[in-house]
Amino acid sequence: DRVVQAYEGLVYMDFAQEHFDATGHGHYERLDVSMLREALPLLFLAYCGEPSDSGRIHSDVRARFDAGDESVRATIAEIADVAATAKAAIENGDADQCRTLMKRNFHLRRRLFGDAVLGETNLRLVQIADDRAAVAKLPGSGGAVVGTCDPDRLEDLRAAYEAESFVFVVLEPYVGAHSLPLLPDDDVPVVDNAGQWLAHSRPIAFEATTA
């Protein structure tokens, strides 16, 4: 979370153990935001007004990973593979592949944490999209989904979320006016493995609109 908060925008993060052990941070690569617009021209965010409990959402997965739990490690490796494949799909403008990978990401997360930990709200946020031929996945600790749909389904999807008191906004990625390049791998990382802030790069963000 701290990496994307620091770099902002569209950032591919690779936390391969060998690189992390050698540098104390992951390998971060900024992707051109225009490629995201080509691959997924319509993105939405839906969320509930009540914040979720991040500690509860993450449960004991970290402890199980550190203890060498094979099922946890295998699932996290699959999630990393999905991210690498998604990077290529975005670069190639492959919308169908992006949607498939978003679904796959959610199902892997569900397998990793389980329904009891994810909670009814998160599952419902995804199900509303599924029921309307849209795609949604959890973007963080919980209480929100980011997704995509065909333009002709947008208003129906918005109405469905708002009917259950969720907030629905359309996202428009944009590049800030004062942009700086990513720091190279041999320079100071954005955050170290203790989570300390070390540097800040160019501001790129998502603009949320209700239009």
Active site residue 1: yes
Nearest 5°: CA angle at 190, between 8 and 55?
A: 75
Cβ count within 10 A of residue 113: 20
Distance CA 22, CA 18 (A): 6
In angstroms, what CA-CA distances link 28 with 4, 21, 121, 177, 188? 10, 15, 32, 21, 12
| Identified catalytic residue from 1, 32, 81, 156 | 1
CB atoms near residue 64 (< 10 Å)? 15
Cα gap 166→106, rounded to integer Å: 19
Q: Which of 127, 169, 123, 129 is nearest to 142 (CA)?
A: 123
- Report the C-alpha gap between 10 and 204 in whole angstroms: 8
Active site residues: 1
